[in-house]
Amino acid sequence: MHREFCRRGAWLLPLALAACDGPQSALDPAGHEAEAVSQLFWWMAGASLVLWVLVVGLSFYASRRREQPWPARRAARLILVCGALLPTLLLAALLVFGLRLMPVLRAPGDGLRVEVEGQQFWWRVRYVLPDGRRFETANEVRLPVGSRTEFLLTAQDVIHSFWIPSLGGKMDMIPGTTNRLVLEPTQTGRFRGACAEFCGASHALMAMSVEVMEPEAFTAWVEREAGAAAASTDEGAALFLARGCGACHTVRGTAAAGRVGPDLTHLGARPTIAAGILPNSPENIDRFIRETQAIKPAARMPSFGMLPPAESAAIATWLGSLR
């Protein structure tokens, strides 16, 4: 029985370790703050293991190996040292370590500012460049590697929480308040962010794609993203406006200038749609238009299943082509 359990356990171990990396793991850090937090976590986990072994070992020793009572004086000293002095010193060391970390992690940003507003159930993302230019996007954050980007976080409706585990700790987004968070990615790559505060029916479906890029690639992306989409004047564009999508969504370069829903100007260039839920493809965009409430329950956008399939497909194709 025991051996059987061990054999199964051995199978599970690589699986458990494999769960540590990936695009959304605080244990696989790719940012300055995440590295500090993960280092702290491993030190604490290691030290807890040592203490646990020590305590269990002592209780085993006391109950099985040595059954005579200890002299009262020695026992009192053991309790004083191991039960009071040692924990106080350990806590003091942890407190000093944590407090010394804070000024480093909270140093100001290098100039790029990203304002993110949480809404049920997506993220409005506004870039403010060091030269003062601004542009808006949604559900996607791109950052230059090696520089400190300042996030100003707020919420429109209820409390959300902004968390990119691979890059740093989480920060609440509170209506009426602006919170600051500075992240410094140290590796390029694709990551995933998530809402970390329960915010409603589709809380678990509120994610975002994060891409850390080389500075040159980032600058090129900014130049492209700040401009209007290469909006074609095909059937999809006309239908998008005719069916009223522009009342809620903005596509810069067209007459659509709604402020209720996500900006769709460069939707085709984003890796995911529906706030990190579906891979970006015209089929998925079409599905999201027709079955919005099935994919994202309680979202403010109604399902547009009443559109003729050919029309929604044309709109989806056009949106997918906005790069």
Partner 1 sequence: MVIRIRDKADLWTLLMPPTVWALHFLFCYLVAAVHCAKKGGINLAEPSSGASFAPLAEVRPLVAIGTAVALALIVVSAWQAWRHWGAGTEDPPHDAATPEDRQHFLGLATLLLSGLSFASVIFIALPAFLITDCR
Note the residues at the interface with partner 1 (CB under 8 A): 72, 76, 84, 88, 91-92, 95-96, 99-100, 102-103, 106, 108-113, 128, 130, 132, 150, 152, 178, 180
- 279 burial (CB, 10 Å; 0-12 / 13-18 / 19+) is exposed
DSSP single-letter state for residue 85 = I
With the C-alpha atoms ordered 149, 139, 115, 196, is the resulting torsion angle positive or negative?
A: negative
In whole angstroms, the minimum distance from the beta carbon of 75 to partner 1 comes to 11
Rounded Cα distance between 149 and 142, Å, is 10
Q: How far apart are CA 80 and CA 107, in angstroms?
A: 41
Quote the least distance from Cβ 149 to partner 1, whole Å.
9
d(CA 196, CA 207): 9
CB of 267 to partner 1, least distance (A): 26
Q: What is the DSSP letter of 9?
A: H
Least distance CB 106 / partner 1 (angstroms) = 5
CA angle 66, 70, 72 (to 5 degrees): 165
Minimum Å gap between C-beta 162 and partner 1 is: 17
Least distance between partner 1 and beta carbon 18 (Å)? 37
> Judged by CB, which is closer to partner 1: 6, or 79?
79
CA pair distance 203, 150, nearest whole angstrom: 25
In this structure, the strands spanning 171-173 and 134-138 are unpaired
Minimum CB distance to partner 1, residue 211 (Å): 21
Shorter beta-carbon distance to partner 1: residue 48 or 178:
178
Query: Could you tell me which residues are beta bridge partners of residue 137?
Result: 125
The residue (of 19 and 91) whose beta carbon lies closer to partner 1 is: 91
Please, where are the H alpha helices in the chain? 2-18, 32-60, 72-78, 86-105, 215-226, 235-242, 282-290, 292-295, 309-320
Measured between its terminal Cα atoms, the distance across the chain in Å is 59
Cβ proximity to partner 1: between 92 and 247 the closer is 92
Nearer to partner 1, 124 or 192 (CB): 124
CB of 226 to partner 1, least distance (A): 15
Q: What is the 8-class DSSP label of residue 71?
A: P
Cβ closest to partner 1, residue 6 vs residue 84? 84
CA 151-155-158 angle, 5° bins: 145
By beta-carbon proximity to partner 1, the closer residue of 113 and 142 is: 113
Helix, strand and coil content of the chain, in percent to the nearest 5, comes to: 45, 20, 35
Q: In 10 A of CB 94, how many CB atoms?
A: 14
Residue number with CB closer to partner 1 (112 or 155): 112
